[in-house]
Structure 1
Amino acid sequence: MSAEDVLKAAKAAGLMVSVAESCTGGMVAAALTDIAGSSAVVERGFVTYSNSAKQQMLGVRAETLEAHGAVSEEVAREMAEGALDHSEADVAVSITGIAGPGGSEHKPEGRVCFGLARVGRVTQVETVEFGALGRAEVRIAARDHALALLLKGLG
């Protein structure tokens, strides 16, 4: 599985993709757009690192952030759905997590929540505990997991 696989699948399906990223800071969008011809299927990317950016750019509700925190499946869902609502894409993936260093008792380093939204389908969310791999490794693992989710969503 690679970014190239995602682009080929999107092109074959005639679908446009968008991404909404927090802890990865644009790494998924970069992986996709590093490949020539990606403009045929990559509609846009949102880097929404702060809570206010999540609200302003993706429509994440303040109530959701207050009730669940930014690193939650609820926020990942609203981010993915917001990426569809604020773009012309057919499929969107979202990432919000704690890359580290640090974390808390309730939200440890390496916890990353993902959302996968596709027009006409129920949004899927999941949480992956990558563990305290270190900031760079958590971000790489999250990028790769998001690419795998996008590929799945294009099927």
Structure 2
Amino acid sequence: MISQSNLLSILGENTDSTVMKQFKSCLSGPLREDEAPLPGERYFYSFDDGLSLLLEDERVSAIHLYCTGNEDGYSSYKGWIGDKLKNKDIDPIEVISLMGKPSNRGGGAKGFLGKTDPTWLRYDYLNYVIHYTFSSSNTQIEMITLMDPQTAP
């Protein structure tokens, strides 16, 4: 199982660092590179582990944890999902009751093309930012994004 320290230790690291090599050894499947849409970005993914990494300027700036299997072929991520949270089957109100008031929140309203944007919660901490995106029914966490606070939007 991937731990909090495994995940948070790689934020800001480059792919050749000792910390990244240790992280890769925790994975059940290979970490493969994919094309990134913007110059200066690289994506690495592990379908077996349900995660992807975004590198900007050769450093890990974001980690995407796919909590439910999806059409892109990711398995459901199994590991640390945040302090005080035990499983992904939780709604936004329950997350707030366990973790406190979020730094920011949004979604749940009609978006640009008339589709309802997913509900999301964001918590900013000293060493990381964690962003939860919920299912359209708001009954479970679909994706978690961990970000380096120095590069988080």
TM-score higher than 0.5 = no
Higher helix share: 1
Greater RCO, CA 8 A, separation 6+: 1
**Normalized against structure 2, the TM-score is what?**
0.30
**Normalized against structure 1, the TM-score is what?**
0.30
Higher strand share: 2
